[in-house]
């Protein structure tokens, strides 16, 4: 790793390397990762759905991995990643690992990404290539049948997604989006996890947020992202 890149993404990658036992990370100085919600993009009209209850966790679990630190566990539950890709800096700093299917020439992909305050998982069927796509690791666990615990999967229709998630807050001809916002006091697990952090205040609430985006081609989902994070 080049020391000049020792910023937010490098720190993330070094931490993940320590967790997973990996030996390398690769810096890529571009934003060709078109699928990423953490890359710098022009702000568009978003939406938010404040809630008195946290949305069901099943919508944010895929391959038995919950969002938070999915890269740490992906090596055990999916396949051992060959390298961690780093991109961006500061608020757009992100660390990524990618897996692809054995069949269909690697057409189906599962990508995990971690940033400064959020983590995401992406299910992709086809789509343009990007720098770093050659680092996707082949895994028999990746296929077009992979789904979240709630049943979100590639190839589904908008109507099927709405039966699981309800009415989206943004709709277009080729996609739907859900955004959730939930404020809560730290749980005992969160208190234990964050104990000793200088910026952690146990008596102040956390703002949990989540996003689900689904994009369609010929009325079938080819891109699904589930993202969560929290701030205090």
Q: What is the pLDDT of residues 33-51, one digit of tens each?
A: 999 999 987 666 667 666 6
Share of the chain above pLDDT 90, in %: 51
pLDDT of residue 195: 60
Low-confidence ranges of the chain (pLDDT < 50): 1-8, 19, 23
**How confident is the model at residue 12, as a pLDDT?**
54
The pLDDT score that the predictor gives to residue 2 is: 34
Q: What is the pLDDT of residues 84-109, one digit of tens each?
A: 999 998 888 999 999 999 988 899 99
SS3 letters across the chain: CCHHHCCHHHHHHHHHHHHHCCCCEEECCCCCCCCCCCCCCCCCCCCCEECCCCCCHHHHEECCEECCCHHHHHHHHCCCCCCEEEECCHHHCEEEEEEECCCHHHCEEEEEEEECCEEEEEEEECCCCCCCHHHCEECCCCCCCCEECCCCECCCCHHHHHHHHCCCCEEECCEEEEEEEEEECCCHHHHHHHCCCCCCCCCCCEEEEEEEEEEEECCEEEEEEEEEEEEC
Cα separation of 228 and 232, whole Å? Answer: 14
Q: pTM of the predicted model, to two decimals?
A: 0.83
pLDDT given for residue 177 in this prediction: 95
The answer to whether the beta carbons of residues 211 and 227 sit under 8 Å apart is: yes
Question: Within 13 Å, how many C-alpha atoms sit on residue 147's CB side?
Answer: 14
Beta carbons of 39 and 92 less than 8 angstroms apart: yes
pLDDT at res. 3? 29
Kindly give, in sequence order, each residue whose CB lies less than 8 Å from that of residue 197, ignoring residues fewer than 6 positions away: none
Residue with tokens 């789904």: 147
Structure token digits, residue 64: 């038995």
Report the C-alpha gap between 212 and 61 in whole angstroms: 12
């Amino acid at each position: 790793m080049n020391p000049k890149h020792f910023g937010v993404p490098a720190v993330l990658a070094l931490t993940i390397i320590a967790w997973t036992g990996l030996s390398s990370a690769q810096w890529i100085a571009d934003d060709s990762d078109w699928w990423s919600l953490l890359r710098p993009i022009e702000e568009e009209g978003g939406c938010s759905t404040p809630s008195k209850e946290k949305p069901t966790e099943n919508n944010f679990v895929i391959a038995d991995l919950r969002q938070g630190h999915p890269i740490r566990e992906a090596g055990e539950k999916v396949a051992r990643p060959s390298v961690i890709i780093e991109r961006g800096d500061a608020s757009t700093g992100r660390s990524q690992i990618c897996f692809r299917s054995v069949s269909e020439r690697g057409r189906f992909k599962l990508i995990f990404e971690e940033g400064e305050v959020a983590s995401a998982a992406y299910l992709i069927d086809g789509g343009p290539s990007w720098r770093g796509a050659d680092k996707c690791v082949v895994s028999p666990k990746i296929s077009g049948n992979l789904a979240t615990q709630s049943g979100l999967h590639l190839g589904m229709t908008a109507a099927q997604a709405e039966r699981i998630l309800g009415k989206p807050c943004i709709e277009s001809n080729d996609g739907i989006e859900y955004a959730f916002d939930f404020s809560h006091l730290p749980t005992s697990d969160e208190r234990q996890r964050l104990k000793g952090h200088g910026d952690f205040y146990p008596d102040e609430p956390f703002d949990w947020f989540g996003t689900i985006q689904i994009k369609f081609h010929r009325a079938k989902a080819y891109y699904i992202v589930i993202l969560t994070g929290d701030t205090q």
